[in-house]
Amino acid sequence: MNNALQHPVASVATNDVPAILEMRGISQIFPGVKALDNVSIALYPGKVTALIGENGAGKSTLVKILTGIYRPNEGEILVDGKPTTFANAQAAIDAGVTAIHQETVLFDELTVAENIFLGHAPRTRFRTIDWKLMNSRAKALLTSLESNIDPTIRLKDLSIAQRHLVAISRALSIEARIVIMDEPTAALSRKEIDDLFRIVEGLKAQGKAILFISHKFDELYEIADNFAVFRDGRAVGHGNLKATPQDEIVRMMVGRDVENAFPKIDVAIGGPVLQVEKYSHQTEFRDISLTLRKGEILGIYGLIGAGRSELCQSLFGITKPLSGKLTLNGREISINSPLDAIRAGIVYVPEERGRHGLALPMPIYQNMTLPSLGRTSRKGFLKAANEFALARKYAERLDLRAAALSVPVGTLSGGNQQKVVIGKWLATMPKVIILDEPTKGIDIGSKAAVHGFISELAAEGLSIIMISSELPEIIGMSDRVLVMKEGLSAGLFERKDLTPETLVRAATGNA
Amino acid sequence: MSRLLRKRETLLFIIIAVMIGAFSTRADGFATPGNLAGIFNDTSILIILALAQMTVILTKSIDLSVAANLAFTGMAIAMLNAAHPDLPLIVLILTAVLIGACLGAINGFLVWALEIPPIVVTLGTLTIYRGMAFVLSGGEWVNAHQMTPTFLNVPRTVVLGMPVLSWAAIIIVALIYVVLKYTQFGRSTYAAGGNPTAAVYAGVDVGWTKFLAFVLSGALAGLASYLWVSRYAVAYVDIANGFELDSVAACVIGGISIAGGVGSVLGTVLGALFLGVIKNALPVIGISPFTQMAISGTVIILAVVFNARRERNRGRIILRDKAAAETPAEVAA
Amino acid sequence: MSTVVSTPTEKRVIPDRLGTPFKRIMSSWEVLLFGVAVVIFIFNSLASPYFLDAWNLSDATFNFTEKAMIAFAMALLVISGEIDLSVAAIIALASTAMGAAAQAGVGAPGLVAIGVGVGLLCGMFNGFLVSVMKLPSIVVTIGTMSLFRGISYIVLGDQAYGNYPEDFAFFGQGYVVWVFSFEFVLFIVLAILFAILLHATNFGRQVYTIGNNDFAARFSGIPVERVKFILFMLTGVMSGIASVCLTSRLGSTRPSIAQGWELEVVTMVVLGGVSILGGSGKIGGVVIAAFVMGLVTFGLGLLNVPGIVMSIFIGLLLIITIAIPIIARRIKAMSSK
């Protein structure tokens, strides 16, 4: 069925307008991982193409190829029908490709105008940069987007929504023909999203082709014309979005019914283990209270910037709380450092496992034994045999796939890296385990395994806090869900009341 | 207005003014225009070297070889001048700039093409260049009487009230200001150092920018070498020993961030002047010049504390990095 | 609700290690460097008849033993991602303190205590600025370098201290057995101790982790600031010990003592295979690098090459040894396309 995707046209092109940009048979191979496998996609002028897929499906790799950061191992890119190679980022920019990323990749210390015009600033007669002209042009672009941002202030003083506007202005300034938007609505308020969509309509009217990456179906159905679904690095579906029901899209994304992805075991929930009372942080969250019970999975849902990770990092001792009380198994504790938390039996599996959870160049077994060195060593001296034994035990338990325990953990796939992190913490025999987006960036196969494993842990009597932005995951796995919005608690929901609408409404504050 | 007052440059200016005022109470005539002009003249070479260092630091690098570059190049043209007194001065100056630029290009090449960390590269070249100065000169000095009158006198010549040496510094300050603010290369240095990942996305060639920064630094060191050798009327292997650290100190005091991407020409100049004022004031107010090093050190430490405080007051504490993911497993998402 | 999806798996057995130990060892930096050392040794023995003499070789060791002691501690610091450019200045300050004490009549044991003590205090000051105040170590130690040596200049000016007690000379000039000087034996002992610390203890594992990923170390409960503070203290103490040896060897103290040594120490560390970016390196490599630098300087000294020309060779050695693996990797990548 997927063979027909050699040249994706047909249902998508209207009036036989040719594609501005086409990718055919693109493959991208990294050591140990095939990020993209024979992928084809076409972008048409004046149309928004939604790129849909779970984390790990290959979307951001595609974006990096389109923006000239990576060169594909196989396949070709055609711009206006002509085969082109993007030798570097500048070549992609010259071809009219621009991208707006989730976290805008721009320069905090430079001014708004300079961010818009970096690399193609207007010049004076003497070939020097014409700041006055640059500032006025920047102002004009921002005004056309109905924004009154002052082009002479530094980027670091702007909000995320304002940064997106700057990035869009940049796209307009290079007269981009292809605009890639990667999860642009994360951390935007409803009004800001409306503003953004209005701008997107404006870009469409100018004949630009837009690639819109998002998880949020309601937004996609609002703004997108076509869609392409990726799964495990392959393009598994494409077509007219409005003519395709959401269930079908989800099925393409996940590959099977959503139900089976969340093997939740019914667990007898015990008494309270961790009580958090009015936990507050200087800037990130305020007055959060929750009770975590034995064997329970407590989900925490919310938009980016809601303060979920910050709350959990504070519970783990990475940052100090301003005020609040913690009670663990009836005893009041205070946690001021990760060491305190580990000793108390609270552990944290970070969202950015590569950046915060693992030392990638170091071997698997060394990563796994890191917080447990007290137990594997003798009087402060390392004992390799003990370390390997511990690593082996948890590698087996988690069904880790690796060439050897001594290879650098950075060579493993995302799912296996996650297993190393989880294994590392399980080895410390914790009481409470906090998981921050546990299946982010993991392929579907491993996702189900991770979920099954989490359920097993709950059944064994561990208490689990799980931060997730994926509704199916959080609804499928949690016994209760705490919703956070802009640093405050927006409701605690029992399992029987969990519906996507309830959670989204609470998280966005929309009636 | 309050934004102006909070800026590093204003603060530094005020501190320098206060210092001058304080010193003049202990030593009459310290704050006279004539004396102040003299201090500026004394500090001219440091200003030039500090600007050289600044360009490199902006790109997230460091150049520990500037002083050694100065020593070799200065020796070279001094020897040229002694051996060929008929060579016009302009030729000598251009030769100095060219030699300095080549030495800088070697640094830049190793950083750009081989991606060796700049601190390691310039650590190596600093000893190589100074050793080369020895080999070139055979350990001999070039003394004042071997240098032509033109060679010696041009920087001392007073034009419009100030010696040519001071004017050279002023011209270089203006030149670097224009380069950093108005040329693509200049803006690229800020981009490359401020956010190397974003710079790549924006089409900036980070490696090439670093290369050019080192070439510029070397060229300025070359120019400074002529000025040094002429001003002190001598060339030997150990000249300008320690100046590389002074140039870094001037930058740090002037608010240049060692992490790159932040800093202004005015700040660097003020940082150099700060050191210059102290150096000149000590003998005048009766403090042994031997205290100068300790004072420099303390000032640097205080400046770093200030810099760090400024960089920390950034609003929300966000523990997520802004740079894009690098590992294949992560980027496959 | 659906039942648990459990896929039956055979027990997967993952080996502990890959490849043979032989292959692993042969392709390491330390072996490359050792090869370089052997080549230099052969070259030197051919170039000068005085080289292969036990006592001359013993004299040669003085070229590097003091710097190597500091290099061991510096290696740990660099592996953790920091640097300390003030080590030579600490030598100067410690030496000045010892000189002043000697003038006041303090005996050798007291002098040692003072020298090491001053080193420890300087190290703690550096540690405070970097770990507690969270300042970047490269500029901070440029500052403390000026400060520490500056204090020596304030105390001594252009004078010198002499008059050290006779028994004090043992540290720098004495021999333990046959040709092996106290300094050399101390160097070997410290090499072994540091190797154990770095490679066989929890602390060493923490140092590597911090250098590889500061965040991950923190998120795993490693007290990053405390470890770095200890490393700066250790570097200070080693500088103090080196100062005792050097001052004892010279028998005098000037504020300019050990000028430029900080860069030589860093060169020794980097030459020894420790990445300046942190996270990797072995003490063994630093030991070999110390020998290499000592062999080069001593051999060139026998050929009457002036010191400053010797440093050209050291600089070239540094750049070439770093560049070769990079170039080799590029050639390999290009040929495999």
Higher model confidence: residue B204 or residue B269?
B269
Low-confidence ranges of chain C (pLDDT < 50): 1-10
pLDDT at B270 over 80: yes
The residue type of B240 is A
pLDDT at B180 over 90: yes
B212-215 own/partner pairs: CB under 8 Å, 24+ apart: B212/B108, B212/B185, B213/B55, B213/B56, B213/B58, B213/B59, B213/B61, B213/B108, B213/B189, B214/B56, B214/B61, B214/B63, B214/B104, B214/B105, B214/B107, B214/B108, B214/B111, B215/B101, B215/B104, B215/B105, B215/B108
pLDDT at B7 over 80: no
pLDDT above 70 covers what percent of chain B?
Answer: 91
Question: With the C-alpha atoms ordered B17, B23, B25, B29, is the resulting torsion angle positive or negative?
Answer: negative
User: Are the Cβ atoms of A355 and C213 closer than 8 angstroms?
Assistant: yes
Residue-level pLDDT at C303: 84
Q: How many CB atoms lie within 10 A of CB A225?
A: 18
Q: How confident is the model at residue B319 (pLDDT cuts 50, 70, 90)?
A: very low
User: Are the Cβ atoms of B333 and A284 closer than 8 angstroms?
Assistant: no
Chains that touch A (3 or more CB pairs under 8 A): B, C
Question: Could you tell me the two tokens for A303?
Answer: 């938009």
Q: Measured between beta carbons, which residues in chain A are less than 8 angstroms from residue C201? A: 377, 380-382
Task: Give the closest-approach CA distance of B294 to chain C in angstroms.
Answer: 4
Residues 6 or more apart from A151 whose CB is under 8 A from it? A111, A112, A113, A116, A134, A135, A138, A139, A142
A285-289 own/partner pairs: CB under 8 Å, 24+ apart: A285/A310, A285/A311, A285/A314, A285/A484, A285/A487, A285/A488, A286/A487, A286/A488, A287/A488, A287/A489, A288/A324, A288/A482, A288/A484, A288/A488, A288/A489, A289/A489
pLDDT at B252 over 50: yes
pLDDT at B325 over 60: no
Q: How far is residue A177's CA from residue A397's CA, in Å, rounded to a whole number? A: 51
CB A77 within 8 A of CB A22: yes
User: Are the Cβ atoms of C139 and B62 closer than 8 angstroms?
Assistant: no
Which chain B residue is nearest to residue C157, measuring alpha carbons?
B290
Report the DSSP beta bridge partners of residue A211.
Answer: A49, A180
Q: How confident is the model at residue B329 (pLDDT cuts 50, 70, 90)?
A: very low
Residue-level pLDDT at B308: 81
Query: H or E stretch including C191?
Result: helix C182-200
Question: Could you tell me the two tokens for A272?
Answer: 């309270």
State the DSSP code for A19: P
Query: H or E stretch including B51?
Result: helix B33-58
pLDDT (tens digit, 9 = 90+) per residue, C188-227? 999 999 999 999 999 999 999 999 999 899 989 899 999 9
Q: How far is residue C225's CA from residue C216's CA, in Å, rounded to a whole number? A: 14
Question: Could you tell me the two tokens for A335?
Answer: 């946690």
Question: Could you tell me the two tokens for C173?
Answer: 């000039």
Task: Give the closest-approach CA distance of B199 to chain A in angstroms.
Answer: 8
User: Are the Cβ atoms of C221 and A339 closer than 8 angstroms?
Assistant: yes
CB A401 within 8 A of CB C233: no
Task: Give the closest-approach CA distance of C323 to chain B in angstroms.
Answer: 7
Chains that touch C (3 or more CB pairs under 8 A): A, B
CA dihedral B76, B80, B81, B83 (to 10 degrees): 140
Residue-level pLDDT at C3: 39
Chain A interface includes C23 (CB < 8 A): no
CB C15 within 8 A of CB C21: no
Task: Give the closest-approach CA distance of A364 to chain C in angstroms.
Answer: 10
Q: Which of C134, C140, C322 sits opposite B116 (nearest CB)?
A: C322
Residue-level pLDDT at A432: 94
CB A357 within 8 A of CB A364: no
Chain A interface includes C4 (CB < 8 A): yes
Chain A interface includes C313 (CB < 8 A): no
CA-angle at C141, arms to C137 and C143, nearest 5°: 125
CB C16 within 8 A of CB A364: no
Q: Measured between beta carbons, which residues in chain B are less than 8 angstroms from residue A441? A: 329-330, 332-333
Question: Could you tell me the two tokens for B98?
Answer: 């060219």
CB B194 within 8 A of CB B73: no
pLDDT (tens digit, 9 = 90+) per residue, B57-73? 999 999 999 999 999 99
Residue-level pLDDT at C26: 61
Q: Measured between beta carbons, which residues in chain B are less than 8 angstroms from residue A118? A: 187, 191, 202, 204
Lookup result for tokens 């490599």: C285
Q: Which of A105, A114, A313 sits opposite B319 (nearest CB)?
A: A313
User: Are the Cβ atoms of C309 and B290 closer than 8 angstroms?
Assistant: no
Question: Could you tell me the two tokens for A143?
Answer: 């005004």
User: Are the Cβ atoms of B116 and C147 closer than 8 angstroms?
Assistant: no
Residue-level pLDDT at A256: 53
pLDDT one digit per residue (tens) for chain A, 511 residues = 333 344 443 334 455 688 888 888 889 887 667 788 899 999 999 999 999 887 667 888 899 899 888 888 889 999 988 898 888 888 888 888 988 876 657 888 899 999 999 888 888 888 888 999 999 999 998 888 888 888 989 888 888 778 888 888 888 888 889 999 988 876 677 777 888 888 889 889 988 999 998 877 778 888 999 999 988 788 888 889 888 887 788 777 766 544 455 667 778 888 888 888 888 888 788 889 999 999 999 999 887 678 888 899 999 998 888 888 999 988 999 898 898 999 999 999 988 888 888 999 999 999 999 999 888 888 889 998 999 999 999 998 888 888 889 899 988 877 788 889 999 999 999 999 999 988 876 666 667 778 888 888 998 889 999 998 877 788 888 999 999 887 888 889 998 888 877 887 787 765 4
Question: Could you tell me the two tokens for B111?
Answer: 């950083």
| Cβ density class B154-172: b for 16+ within 10 Å, e for less | bbeeeeeebbbbbbbbeeb
Q: Measured between beta carbons, which residues in chain C are less than 8 angstroms from residue B134? A: 306, 308-309
Task: Give the closest-approach CA distance of B160 to chain C in angstroms.
Answer: 38
Residues 6 or more apart from A394 whose CB is under 8 A from it? A368, A400, A423, A424, A426, A427
Query: H or E stretch including B36?
Result: helix B33-58
User: Are the Cβ atoms of B316 and A441 closer than 8 angstroms?
Assistant: no
Chain C interface includes A404 (CB < 8 A): yes
Distances (CA, A) of A130 to A125, A135, A317: 9, 9, 49
Residue-level pLDDT at B316: 35
CB C323 within 8 A of CB B110: yes
pLDDT (tens digit, 9 = 90+) per residue, A360-410? 999 999 999 999 988 888 888 999 899 999 999 999 888 888 888 989 998
B147-152 own/partner pairs: CB under 8 Å, 24+ apart: B147/B78, B147/B81, B147/B82, B147/B229, B147/B230, B147/B233, B148/B81, B148/B85, B150/B89, B151/B81, B151/B89, B151/B92, B151/B230, B152/B230, B152/B233
Q: How far is residue A352's CA from residue C200's CA, in Å, rounded to a whole number? A: 30
Question: Could you tell me the two tokens for A34?
Answer: 């095939």
CA-based R_g, chain B, Å:
21
pTM, rounded to two decimals = 0.84
Mean of all residue pLDDT scores within chain C = 87
Residue-level pLDDT at A167: 85
User: Are the Cβ atoms of B202 and A59 closer than 8 angstroms?
Assistant: no
User: Are the Cβ atoms of C16 and A337 closer than 8 angstroms?
Assistant: no
pLDDT (tens digit, 9 = 90+) per residue, A402-440? 888 989 998 887 778 888 999 999 999 999 999 998 887
Maximal C-alpha separation, chain C: 89
User: Are the Cβ atoms of B329 and A31 closer than 8 angstroms?
Assistant: no
pLDDT at B326 over 50: no
Q: How far is residue C145's CA from residue B297's CA, in Å, rounded to a whole number? A: 7
Q: How far is residue A286's CA from residue A489's CA, in Å, rounded to a whole number? A: 8
User: Are the Cβ atoms of A377 and C202 closer than 8 angstroms?
Assistant: yes
Q: Measured between beta carbons, which residues in chain C are less than 8 angstroms from residue B132? A: 312
Residue-level pLDDT at C307: 82
Residues 6 or more apart from B323 whose CB is under 8 A from it? B195, B197
Task: Give the closest-approach CA distance of A16 to chain B in angstroms.
Answer: 33
Q: Measured between beta carbons, which residues in chain B are less than 8 angstroms from residue C316? A: 124, 128
Query: H or E stretch including A162?
Result: helix A160-173
